[in-house]
Structure 1
């Protein structure tokens, strides 16, 4: 893209998304004052995310979306390719879900307000006691019947290659007995590469896999590790049939 077109795109996105972000951010941050269920929060955040997709000229190719119903409660585990992933998933996962997000995002103006005072869960990854509180809060959301999306790699991939998954999602699965819903996100690292904050436009692929029942893993001595491996391999499988780099081994 030429320098001129890049500048035009920046102006377009700032002009369109600034007012939408301000309004939606404030509505999300204050929504729990009058709707403790979080459904209004979820609706407004969907509108916000759809606006981001539209303004960035991004299309989403969704496969398996019919496997999710509004009242289903899952621990949704996804790979993580860019800052853009939550905007892709929120309007395309058709159930009542929340995000487990890193505490650093609370420092971002407007978005941080929505995350801090809204219905998603923030976690401090670098303080063990605070991280434990974040997982406890996540468990509470699950017990309220809300699904939670967890990017199990713990950070974004710089090149699209999947990294080994952290334990958090699988510890929660073993503790609650809730099924894991594996989700694969492909090509989003090209839309917004790590370190960049302007979207390139294009198409992102989202694949919703069959849920994984955790019951059989709960009776195994190494059940958590086995569940982690199965989930990783399920999410990684589509990459072996695409032009994207293959995931790193578990």
Structure 2
């Protein structure tokens, strides 16, 4: 219980402090020459915030694969184990990115402003029109040079195994004409969900950044086929974790 209370206090306190610096950060960002350099600069503070959370919970992260930060926009696709996926991925992936996130996240204090700063997109799963707008906004974001990350399972697996992928989000990559980078994350559910969120347990998380799936894959494959291909690659990677 002490570890949980300590972690929550650090998360809220650091997020509040970091939010006070957003205006200054936005002004600095305007002086940078490219979208990629601006996004990279913004992500630095988010990485500090994420690292603080992981340190407070006693979480270590091992990253494998091509973790380069080039300026070619991509759609990152990751499995979704637990609540710690978000800070782990922000901490682990060098490439700056925004999330396609459920609308409920807007209600979390301080986090909404950071989601906006990271060029994230919200989705209301109860509203079909919101899904169409999410695709439109996602395509526009990628074409503008930003990176996005989606969780195609739709919700956390909580350590119960890889769930089926919803292929709808792949429309973003297809319409924007960008490569897809699969990401396999393992170990986050052991930190919290394994114990019904009643306590946090220190542990190790692995993040595997897999080989990109080229945008040309949609020439000969349907959305569902591409979704199954990516799911299979992530499933195989999880067996190696």
TM-score by length of 2: 0.86
Which residue number in structure 1 is paired with residue 85 of structure 2?
85
Structure 1 partner of 2:61: 60
**1:148-227 to 2 correspondence within 5 Å?**
148-193=148-193, 196=197, 198-215=199-216, 217-220=217-220, 222-227=221-226
Gaps of 5+ in 1: 1-5, 243-250
User: What's the counterpart of residue 135 of structure 1?
Assistant: 135
Indicate how the Cα distance of structure 1 residues 118 and 235 shifts in structure 2: closer, same or farther if over 3 A, else same.
closer
- Choose 10-19 or 40-49, whichever is displaced more: 10-19
Alignment partner, residue 126 of structure 1: 126
1:24 aligns with 2:18: yes
Task: Please list every run of 5 or more consecutive structure 2 residues that lacks an aligned counterpart in the other structure.
Answer: 31-37
Q: For 1:155-204, what per-residue CA distance to the aligned partner results, in whole angstroms no more than 9, with x for missing partners?
A: 11133411111123321222122111000001111112186275321000
| Equivalent residue, structure 2, for 1:238 | 237
User: 116-125 vs 100-109, which deviates more?
Assistant: 116-125
Separation in structure 1 between the aligned mates of residue 164 and residue 102 of structure 2, nearest angstrom:
18
1:144 matched to 2:131 = no
Secondary structure (helix, strand or coil) at the match of 1:83 reads coil
Query: In the superposition, relative to structure 1, how do residues 117 and 181 fare at CA in structure 2: closer, same or farther (>3 Å)?
Result: closer
Q: Aligned-residue CA RMSD in angstroms? A: 2.4
**2:63 pairs with 1:69:** no
Aligned length: 233
